[in-house]
């Protein structure tokens, strides 16, 4: 492939709108529009990747010219994966995660150019993936995803070894001769590791989603995470969401791979760890801030999630 053929058209269109050029596959955002960069790769007919780490003064919305409705593409959107070097701060409270969507989801709601900052987006043909390994009947989640016949969305937290692969993609200096090859291998490694995680999910049946359901579940998630000192009450959340408790619990677990309360408790402990790392509060103050009245219970839960008691963690 010629070098120009390996650069996504959406990147070329963005460069044209900003009145700039793509140099060595990289688009630097002109200072009058913002700051940062965007780079992209077309590896072959089956897989492509866009890396974005920028801030724009105003949103720019572009219709994706690379979208091929004839193919059954899967979308992987890695988010909160960069240190916030653009503003000089490190994004510690935003947990790195991946959105995984089938082509039946309106991808403009999931992956749009104006919300691409600090993300890696990978598109891959589901039929291409299916041909790479034996499809087990033991994993309804994985099977349904690769069949790509219904609108599904999953979110998966990024664990440390996966983050290391992401950092290799972002920071690995590779010779131009090997760049395309190196990046394709790493992109496929990310996808493989994610599918291995999704296969572990134990849902026996999946339910087709629509944009309204997805937006509602994410509003519920945001509400839970904004009030970590208050345990979620399913009936109240369901009433506010306009869903039955059964549907709310079912769709939440399907998207996030965890129950509402377990998801809440995990983030509650992550917040406790961040507060202890900051060394501004004592262990008891952290416990009370997160709604614990029984500090021994707080200590027990923290150890279950973090592997050590909060006092030990605070001394690290």
**In terms of domains, do 218 and 79 share one?**
no
**Residue 104 falls within a domain, yes or no?**
yes
**In terms of domains, do 296 and 187 share one?**
no
* DSSP three-state, residue 123: strand
pLDDT at 80: 84
Which one-letter DSSP state was computed for residue 30?
P
- Identify whether the C-beta of residue 187 lies closer than 8 Å to the C-beta of residue 129: no
**In terms of domains, do 164 and 249 share one?**
no
Choice between 159 and 105, residue whose per-residue pLDDT is larger: 159
**Domain limits at 229?**
211-314
113-146: pLDDT as tens digits: 454 568 899 999 999 988 887 766 668 888 888 8
Domain count, the chain: 2
| CA 238 vs CA 155, 223, 255: distances in Å | 20, 12, 16
Phi/psi of residue 51, each to 5°?
A: -110, 125
48-95: pLDDT as tens digits: 999 988 888 887 777 766 666 667 899 999 988 876 544 444 434 567
Q: What is the dihedral of CA 273, 279, 280, 284, to 10 degrees?
A: 60
| Burial state string for 106-130 with b = 16 or more CB within 10 A and e = fewer than 16 | ebeebbebeebbbbbbbbbbbebbe
pLDDT at 65: 64
Q: pLDDT averaged over the chain?
A: 86
- The percent of residues in the chain predicted with pLDDT above 90, rounded, is 57
**In terms of domains, do 75 and 122 share one?**
yes
> In the structure encoding, which two tokens stand for residue 1, read together?
């492939």
250-278: pLDDT as tens digits: 999 999 999 999 999 999 999 999 999 98
- Asked if residue 283 has pLDDT above 70, the reply is yes
Domain with 264 in it: what CATH number? 1.10.10.60
293: pLDDT confidence band, cut at 50, 70 and 90?
A: very high
pLDDT at 67: 63
pLDDT at 3: 67
Rounded Cα distance between 159 and 225, Å, is 19
Closest CA to 94 of 222, 231, 251, 281: 222
Q: Dihedral of CA 227/233/238/240: which sign?
A: negative
Q: What's the whole-number mean pLDDT along residues 238-253?
A: 97
**In terms of domains, do 155 and 49 share one?**
yes
**In terms of domains, do 180 and 270 share one?**
no
Which of 142, 172, 200 is at the close of a domain?
200
Give the global pTM.
0.87
């Amino acid at each position: 492939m010629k070098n120009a053929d390996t650069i996504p058209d959406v990147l070329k269109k963005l460069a044209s709108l900003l009145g700039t050029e793509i140099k060595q596959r990289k688009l630097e955002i002109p200072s009058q529009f913002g700051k940062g960069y965007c780079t992209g790769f077309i590896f072959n007919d089956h897989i492509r990747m866009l890396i974005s780490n920028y801030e724009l003064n105003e949103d720019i919305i572009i219709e994706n010219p690379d979208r091929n409705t004839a193919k059954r593409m899967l979308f992987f959107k890695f988010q909160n994966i960069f240190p916030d070097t653009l503003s000089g701060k490190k994004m510690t409270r935003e947990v790195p995660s991946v959105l995984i969507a089938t082509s039946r989801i309106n991808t403009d709601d999931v992956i749009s150019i104006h919300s691409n900052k600090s993300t890696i987006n990978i598109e891959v043909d589901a039929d291409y993936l299916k041909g790479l390994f034996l499809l087990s009947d033991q994993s309804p989640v994985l099977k349904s995803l690769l069949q790509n016949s219904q609108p599904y969305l999953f979110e998966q937290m990024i664990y440390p070894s996966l983050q290391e692969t992401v950092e290799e993609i972002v920071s690995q200096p590779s010779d131009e001769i090997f760049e395309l090859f190196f990046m394709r291998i790493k992109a496929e490694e990310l996808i493989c590791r994610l599918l291995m995680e999704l296969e572990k999910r134990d849902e026996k049946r999946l339910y087709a989603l629509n944009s309204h359901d997805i937006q509602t579940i994410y509003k519920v998630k945001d509400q839970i995470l904004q009030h970590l000192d208050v345990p979620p009450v399913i009936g109240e959340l369901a009433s506010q969401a306009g869903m039955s408790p059964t549907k709310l619990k079912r769709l939440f677990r399907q998207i996030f791979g965890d129950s509402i309360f377990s998801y809440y408790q995990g983030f509650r402990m992550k917040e406790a760890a961040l507060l202890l790392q900051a060394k501004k509060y004592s262990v008891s103050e952290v416990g009370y801030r997160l709604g614990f009245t029984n500090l021994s219970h707080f200590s027990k839960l923290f150890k279950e999630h973090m592997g050590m008691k909060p006092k030990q963690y605070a001394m690290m």
